[in-house]
């Protein structure tokens, strides 16, 4: 590391320590809740998709869902001469709570890269933004692909972070099996085509909507999150506004100008192929535990790099299972 880079890097460490009220950022410390909230907000703002779901800080590592969506209808009538009126919960609480799992986000930046960045006035911001963008992408990847919580993860085998945490789709498979369509007439396949279970994707989505609770089926915010390969690129011209490098949100969410089964078709980062998820985007949540983020920055001269050890306690929550339906193993067949 060059001397001019050293000065900038020391200032970077000093700022981290000052913000978190510690003497030394190279010793493991607990990220202050106010700093953690700012960081989580920046992570959410770095992704258009994350900006449309809920990212919520929770005090306890384990507990009941927050119930951020409305439950079913509450209109009723009671003959009070026979029985008491029975108020109904407005929120969507159920027996499936949350558990924020410890997740490491460890990374390094080489001396050569830091030296190259030393010429830029936003040296500290570049490092921060790199960490933020990678954590945002990893969280989306886990949310759509996570199937297990391994004591020792294996990124070489689980290239989509399948073993880091259980994501939204896995939560549905385990807690709302009746809302998951995994096969039709052929075992292990839902075939779409002239001789298939459904003539086209529109028919499939129309039918899958019936897996939702009746009071959610006409929700105007419903979308169909579609895996790549199910719809040709011509169906997905960008409808996001023209973006500039200075835009706050990253346009990683593609919305079709055409509808599928009456719903807006959406492509989100890392959403698995051969699947369709029907829900409202604000029915998906990422809970992070307040006070649960740890950090340690360490200079590793033996490897000519700076290592950052960071962790957060996270969980991926479907707020209302009755507002979500999943179709898997979709196969498009020739006429």
Q: Looking at the predicted structure, is the pLDDT value of residue 42 above 70?
A: yes
Mean pLDDT, to the nearest integer, of 154-164? 97
User: What tokens does 86 get?
Assistant: 């029975």
Q: How far is Cα 80 from Cα 82, in angstroms, rounded to an integer? A: 5
Mean pLDDT, to the nearest integer, of 176-201? 93
- Short-list 38, 98, 45, 100, CA closest to 68: 98
Residue 71: per-residue pLDDT: 58
Residue 228: per-residue pLDDT: 81
Q: Strands, E, within the chain: which ranges?
A: 29-30, 54-58, 62-63, 98-99, 101-104, 107-110, 180-181, 190-192, 223-226, 254-260, 263-267, 276-279, 284-289, 294-300, 305-318, 325-327, 330-332
Q: What is the pLDDT of residues 196-242, one digit of tens each?
A: 999 999 999 999 999 999 999 999 999 999 988 787 654 655 444 44
The least confident of 29-43, 64-78, 120-134, 193-207 is 64-78
Q: How far is Cα 128 from Cα 43, in angstroms, rounded to an integer? A: 10
Instruction: Evaluate whether 36 touches 291 at the Cβ level (below 8 Å).
Output: yes
Q: Looking at the predicted structure, is the pLDDT value of residue 57 above 80?
A: yes
Pairwise pLDDT comparison (74 vs 242), residue with the higher score: 74
pLDDT band at 243 (very low <50, low <70, confident <90, very high): very low
Domains of the chain, first to last: 3-69+90-165+285-319 (3.30.2400), 177-281+322-332 (3.30.1930)
Pairing of strands 62-63, 54-58: unpaired
Q: Looking at the predicted structure, is the pLDDT value of residue 244 above 60?
A: no
Instruction: Evaluate whether 274 touches 229 at the Cβ level (below 8 Å).
Output: yes
Average pLDDT, the chain: 89
Residue 86: per-residue pLDDT: 72
pTM of the model: 0.88
pLDDT band at 105 (very low <50, low <70, confident <90, very high): very high
Pairwise pLDDT comparison (91 vs 260), residue with the higher score: 260
Instruction: Evaluate whether 240 touches 255 at the Cβ level (below 8 Å).
Output: yes
pLDDT band at 13 (very low <50, low <70, confident <90, very high): very high
Which residue is associated with the tokens 């897996």? 211
User: What tokens does 324 get?
Assistant: 């979500």
């Amino acid at each position: 590391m060059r001397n001019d880079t050293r000065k900038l890097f020391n200032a970077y460490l000093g700022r981290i320590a000052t913000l978190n009220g510690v003497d030394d950022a190279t010793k493991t410390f607990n990220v202050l809740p106010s700093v953690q909230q700012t960081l989580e907000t920046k992570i959410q703002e770095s992704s258009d998709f994350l900006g449309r779901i809920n990212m919520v800080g929770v005090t306890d590592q384990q507990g009941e869902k927050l119930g951020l969506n409305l439950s079913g209808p509450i209109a009723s009538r009671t003959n009070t001469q026979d029985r008491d009126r029975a108020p109904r919960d407005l929120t969507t609480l159920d027996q499936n709570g949350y558990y924020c799992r410890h997740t490491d986000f460890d990374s390094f930046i080489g001396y050569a890269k830091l030296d190259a960045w030393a010429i830029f006035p936003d040296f500290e911001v570049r490092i921060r933004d790199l960490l933020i963008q990678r954590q945002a992408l990893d969280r989306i990847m886990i949310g759509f692909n996570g199937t297990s919580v391994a004591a020792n993860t294996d990124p070489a085998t689980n290239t989509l972070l399948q073993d880091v945490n259980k994501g939204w789709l896995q939560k549905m498979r385990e807690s709302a099996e009746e809302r998951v369509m995994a096969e039709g007439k052929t075992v292990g396949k839902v075939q779409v085509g002239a001789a298939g279970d459904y003539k086209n994707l529109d028919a499939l989505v129309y039918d899958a909507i019936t897996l939702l609770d009746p009071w959610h089926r006409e929700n105007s915010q419903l979308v169909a999150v579609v895996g790549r390969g199910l719809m040709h690129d011509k169906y997905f011209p960008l409808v996001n506004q023209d973006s500039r490098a200075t835009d706050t949100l990253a346009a990683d969410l593609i919305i079709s100008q055409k509808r599928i089964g009456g719903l807006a078709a959406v492509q989100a980062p890392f959403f698995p192929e051969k699947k369709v998820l029907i829900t409202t985007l604000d029915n998906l949540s990422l809970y992070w535990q307040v006070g649960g983020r740890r950090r340690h920055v360490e200079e590793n001269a033996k490897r000519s790099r700076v290592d950052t050890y960071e962790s957060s306690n996270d969980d991926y929550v479907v707020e209302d299972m009755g507002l979500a339906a999943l179709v898997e193993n979709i196969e498009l067949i020739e006429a």
